[in-house]
Chain A
Amino acid sequence: MPEVRLHPNTDVLLEFAAGSLSPAQAVAVSAHLFYCPHCQAKSGTLDAIGGNLLADSEAVSVSVDCRSDVMAQLDTVGTASPEKLEINDAAPQGVRWKNLPPLVNRLFRESGISWRHLSSSLRVARLPVGERRFELALHQIKAGGSAPAHDHRGLEITVVLHGSFSDDEGVYHQGDYITREPGHVHTPIATANTECVCLSVLEAPIRLVGRFSRLFNPFLSFMPV
């Protein structure tokens, strides 16, 4: 696999390790980590900072009941079974792209796939993660097709899951984590010979620009649930 070139910045990985990223952003980081050994290692180091802070914390004694509760439960709670997870990680029916992050497959499996066409070459499927600030979706652009030019009122994060696309700033490949700040206008175009599938995190509904903008619904035509 070619090396991933675009990474989340260190502040984002730090918030991921500390557990303070919003769920939709955390899913995007998790998808990037699936493809990027470099950030996996960095994320492991940031976890280790947490582990060392825990090891050096001030101990506060727990109640006797707490201890006896836990010890009494050991026989009944059983163990977590990793086999079950593997089955859930397989791509659900109707998803033909190989090498998607297990988490994306799981979200797909749980929400079902419900594509909406936004234009002849672009369609979108929501992935509900139960949060209000950001929405999470998959975008699919047909080979050689383009997404309408759009700008952002909020942050947009894109992780390429399959194929590649380009815009006026570069070409993006599998695993790349692309951050677009509010106000940025761009027109993503899928590479000619293969369709492109991306995971997107959007902070606010996107406004389309250009002469056909009125014909389109907003890029994602719904508010976060």
Chain B
Amino acid sequence: MSEIPLSHILLVSTALFFIGMYGLFTRRNMITMLMSVELILNSVNINFIAFNKYLYPDKLDGVFFTVFIITIAAAEAAVAIAIIINLYRSHQSIDVEDAGEMKF
């Protein structure tokens, strides 16, 4: 893995981040927006692991940050899906345009 420069891994994670951002901008369905957020969090994890491996191989801080991000992502997905199911019960739709009561 030493012949791949760090900037190539950073480019992959940047591309993944902006693909997730594109999904967040264009999708109007709450579940697919949640999937885009997962992609964004994964790109951040790749960055942490790559920095830990290339620049600070004698430390483990990047690993811990990644573990904590994965944990928080799981909690976030669970809470978001609970909210989505509750919204579906009251609006019969999970489109963000249909849930505009709290917009203003």
A, B co-complexed? no
Q: Which residues of A contact B (CB under 8 A)?
A: none
Instruction: Please report B residues at the A interface, Cβ cutoff 8 Å.
Output: none
